[in-house]
Amino acid sequence: MYLSDLKPYILKHEDMERMKILIIDDEKPITDKISHYLAKRGYEPVAVNDPMEGLKKLQHEPFDLVISDIMMPGINGIELLKQVKNLHPETEVVMISGFGDMNTVIEAMRAGAVDYVKKPFSLVEMQLAIERTTKFLKLQSELLASEDERSLISRQLEQMIERDFIGDSPAIKQVIEMALKTARDKDASVLITGENGTGKELVARLIHYASERDKKQFYPINAAAIPETLLESEFFGHKRGAFTDARDDKKGCFELANGGTLFLDEISEMPLTLQAKLLRALEERKVKPVGGDREIRVDVRIISATNKNLKELIGNNKFRLDLYHRLNTVVINIPPLRERSEDLKPLMHHFIRYFSKKKNLPIPKIDPGIYHEIEHYDFPGNVRELRNMVERAMILSKDNSLKVSDFFISQNGHIPVAEANINFNLDQTEKKLITLALKKCNYNQVKAAELLGISRDALKRKRQKYGIEVKRSF
Ligand SMILES: Nc1ncnc2c1ncn2[C@@H]1O[C@H](COP(=O)(O)OP(=O)(O)OP(=O)(O)O)[C@@H](O)[C@H]1O
Ligand SMILES: [Mg+2]
């Protein structure tokens, strides 16, 4: 039987003490004895001496437990048991067997009886059989409840991933899979790497909410955003009077995140002195507030994020190797958006739906040219940039339709490069310039090379280097 089949029973049966028990035996003195005994112990017994009457009763009302004799005139107890199970699979049956009737007992157990008592039996033996059944049912109900809870979480999670975590590319699917697998271990440290705006914090949240720490805090902290003098107190807390401004005791982020997940954003920006203290806290699972003398036990999962190459920083003595090893039990790398073009369209639609709802606007019509444009754009700011682009376009759009010019605000057809958005990565910028030049010259390579100020051969080499295809639009 599937656990879920037990549901009606479990829902109905909140209070195990008040079990409704049907007693079926053709000998009245036996049913009288049992019901009297059970009624006194707080059960709700109903006794019948005719098996057919018993079945009729079962058709009209459910019972938690049936106690039935095996040998009865008119119907064999095994046959009765099968019919009971047919009517109410969730109803348990305890059989009363005659002396030396072991074969029938085995047959009854195979047909789904939960227990049996042998005649002649004492009432205590009967009581024990009922208690065993109750215990069994309670265990099953707990198991079902926990199964239910788990399946509920995973359904919620599935919805959350579908609703908030968008991506069709194999790369992003792998990221989700890694995040969910990692979530199952509640302690593993995770290092999430990726350029700005690729979704590192989103992945960190996904891990937290998919883990058993989900009822506790997800606490993000960014060392780069906190003045260096306050860092230690932000992380580990302080005692009143520990320094001039410490007027009260203050909890640090480790304590605030206790039981949950501490998300250390931009981990590379952490000063070396704090790195040493962080390592100690992680290794000992204890923190000491500034100005305090007592250490506090903490239990947190650490997820850190960086857009820098930590190995390079380690080589330059800017990051501790031992801390790096402590943080990177699992490493999840999110590739930049330009390397997963399959995600562009679904993400764009997602943000359009999101902003339509947020700004109370109808879903706009989309100029198909936009897809072409975004596919040839590099998105140095990754998903965040696309999100901002969609928001801006929706604000600028007219007549409920999105046009290329709403996305790429341009003078004379060029994609504008606002200073704040300049991508200083030479390779990426070179690739982008070459793509733009080719497009502007309608993929005439001689003209494009001229525009770029390089030879035709150089253009060819660079195209090969960056994998830029030449396509003409007719
Ligand atoms: N796969 C995705 N699906 C839906 N939204 C996404 C996805 N990836 C990123 N976003 C959205 O893009 C924005 C940036 O994501 P997030 O803040 O997680 O990036 P980040 O890598 O932490 O960036 P930074 O390095 O700048 O801190 C957020 O609004 C986030 O919700
Ligand atoms: Mg972030």
DSSP assignment of 438-457:
HHHTTT-HHHHHHHHTS-HH
Buried b (16+ CB within 10 A) or exposed e, 215-253: ebbbbbbebeebeeeebbbbbbbbbeebeeebeeebbbb
Q: Which of 118-122, 238-242, 247-251, 319-323 has the highest mean pLDDT?
A: 319-323
| Spacing, Cα 383 to ligand 1 middle (Å) | 6
| Spacing, Cα 202 to ligand 2 middle (Å) | 8
- Amino acid, res. 334: I
For the residues 423-431, what does the mean pLDDT come to?
80
Q: Of the residues 383, 388, 391, which should be mutated to test ligand 1's pocket, given the most ligand atoms within 8 Å of the CB?
A: 383
CATH fold of 3-142 reads Rossmann fold (3.40.50)
Q: Where does the chain hold its CATH 3.40.50.300 domain(s)?
A: 165-335
Global pTM? 0.60
Q: Of the residues 165, 175, 198, which should be mutated to test ligand 1's pocket, given the most ligand atoms within 8 Å of the CB?
A: 198
Residue owning the nearest CA to atom 10 of ligand 1: 199
Residue 2: predicted pLDDT: 31
Residue owning the nearest CA to atom 15 of ligand 1: 199
pLDDT at 459 over 80: yes
Q: Where does the chain hold its CATH 1.10.8.60 domain(s)?
A: 339-466
Cα–Cα distances in Å, from 219 out to 252, 257, 260, 275, 355? Answer: 11, 6, 8, 18, 26
| Spacing, Cα 237 to ligand 2 middle (Å) | 23
Residue 472: predicted pLDDT: 58
For the domain bounded by 339-466, which CATH number is listed?
A: 1.10.8.60
Instruction: Tell me the CATH architecture of domain 165-335.
Output: 3-Layer(aba) Sandwich (3.40)
Looking from the CA of residue 350, the nearest atom of ligand 1 is 4
142/371: higher pLDDT: 371
Give tens-digit pLDDT for 208-228.
Answer: 998 999 989 999 999 888 888
Which-ligand-closest: CA of 197? 1
Nearest to 62 by CA among 27, 10, 114: 10
What residue ranges line ligand 1, CB within 6 angstroms? 164-167, 172, 194, 196-202, 305, 307, 347, 350, 383-384, 387
Give tens-digit pLDDT for 462-474.
Answer: 898 888 887 654 4
Q: Where does the chain hold its CATH 3.40.50.2300 domain(s)?
A: 3-142
